[in-house]
């Protein structure tokens, strides 16, 4: 009799367990009915870099880490709270040339990581770098370019030529001054050719404006503060 009771109870317990598991899982209709929020394309997000980046030492593929510094609000709802981590990578890097060619740095942002761990894939580019000196942003992809140094190199050549002229004048009159100036100008030009252009360098804490290149969907139930 006891054996019969146990055999009869086992299927019942298994059925109850299965029912309990099903009830704890969200139904397909519940998942479908979840509210989806959208960060529109073109939304600007203020960031602060978490590490230093320099075209002198960085390589293509290196990771980039940043953090949002101000909430992103759309239709009176916070979609990206301050303190959200942003991850990206260096897509292109170029050092300044000896004669021509400025240093360049291209960063693409790839994901938002909310404080609770919710991660969203995104396409983000640099819109502006207000915290970087002597650098400008060009092109739709947001390439950061170091300002030109042509005037600086010309000034170096002129200064060196002037020094050569002064030395030549002291040693051999006006004729010597002319020869000295020519030698000095040549030395100055050589210095300019041997010297690379300045590198792009972004310090930790540098302010960077990211732009969302394509609309990004958010699960309202998982993005903290999104529904407030």
pLDDT tens profile 145-202: 877 644 444 444 445 445 544 455 555 555 555 555 555 555 544 544 455 568 888 9
Percent of the chain scoring above 90 in pLDDT? 40
Q: What is the pLDDT of residue 20?
A: 47
Q: What is the pLDDT of residue 132?
A: 66
Are residues 117 and 185 both part of a single domain? no
CA distance 110 to 123: 6
CA-closest candidate to residue 185, choices 163, 157, 165: 157
Are residues 205 and 98 both part of a single domain? yes
Domain count of the fold of the chain: 2
Better-scored residue on pLDDT, 177 or 139: 139
CA distance 73 to 191: 52
Are residues 47 and 135 both part of a single domain? yes
Are residues 67 and 80 both part of a single domain? yes
Are residues 186 and 74 both part of a single domain? no
CA 30 to chain CA centroid, Å, is: 37
CA-closest candidate to residue 60, choices 94, 87, 91, 88: 91
Q: Could you tell me if residue 171 is inside a domain?
A: yes
Q: What is the pLDDT of residue 226?
A: 52
Which tens digit of pLDDT belongs to each residue from 17-56? 545 445 444 554 444 567 889 999 999 999 999 999 999 9
Residue 219 confidence (pLDDT) above 70: yes
Are residues 83 and 119 both part of a single domain? yes
Q: Could you tell me if residue 25 is inside a domain?
A: no
**DSSP 8-state class, residue 77:** E
Q: Could you tell me if residue 90 is inside a domain?
A: yes
Q: Could you tell me if residue 209 is inside a domain?
A: yes
Q: Which two tokens stand for residue 225?
A: 């503060």
Are residues 54 and 101 both part of a single domain? yes
Are residues 157 and 181 both part of a single domain? yes
Q: What is the pLDDT of residue 130?
A: 81
pTM: 0.64
Residue 210 confidence (pLDDT) above 70: yes
Contact at 8 Å (CB) between 87 and 111? Answer: yes
Are residues 203 and 116 both part of a single domain? yes
Which structural domain, as residue segments, surrounds residue 177?
A: 150-196
Which tens digit of pLDDT belongs to each residue from 59-118? 999 999 999 999 999 888 899 999 999 999 999 999 875 455 788 999 999 999 999 999
Residue 7 confidence (pLDDT) above 90: no
């Amino acid at each position: 009799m006891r054996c019969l009771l146990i055999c009869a109870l086992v299927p019942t317990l298994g059925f109850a367990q299965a029912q309990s598991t099903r009830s704890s899982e969200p139904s397909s209709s519940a998942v479908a009915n979840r509210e989806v929020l959208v960060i529109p394309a073109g939304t600007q997000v203020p960031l602060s870099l978490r590490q230093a980046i320099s075209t002198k030492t960085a390589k293509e593929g290196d990771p980039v880490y940043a953090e949002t510094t101000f909430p992103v609000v759309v239709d009176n709802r916070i979609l990206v709270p301050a303190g959200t981590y942003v991850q990206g990578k260096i897509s292109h890097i170029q050092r300044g040339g000896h004669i021509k060619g400025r240093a360049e740095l291209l960063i693409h942002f790839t994901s938002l990581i909310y404080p609770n761990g919710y991660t969203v894939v995104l396409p983000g580019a640099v819109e502006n770098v207000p915290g970087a000196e002597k650098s400008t942003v060009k092109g739709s992809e947001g390439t950061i370019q170091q300002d030109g140094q042509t005037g600086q190199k010309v000034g170096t050549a002129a200064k060196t030529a002037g020094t050569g002229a002064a030395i030549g004048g002291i040693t051999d009159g006006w004729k010597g001054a002319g020869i000295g100036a020519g030698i000095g100008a040549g030395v100055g030009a050589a210095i300019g050719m041997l010297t690379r252009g300045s590198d792009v360098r972004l310090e930790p804490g540098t302010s960077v404006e990211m732009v969302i290149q394509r609309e990004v969907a958010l699960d309202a139930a998982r993005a903290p503060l999104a529904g407030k």
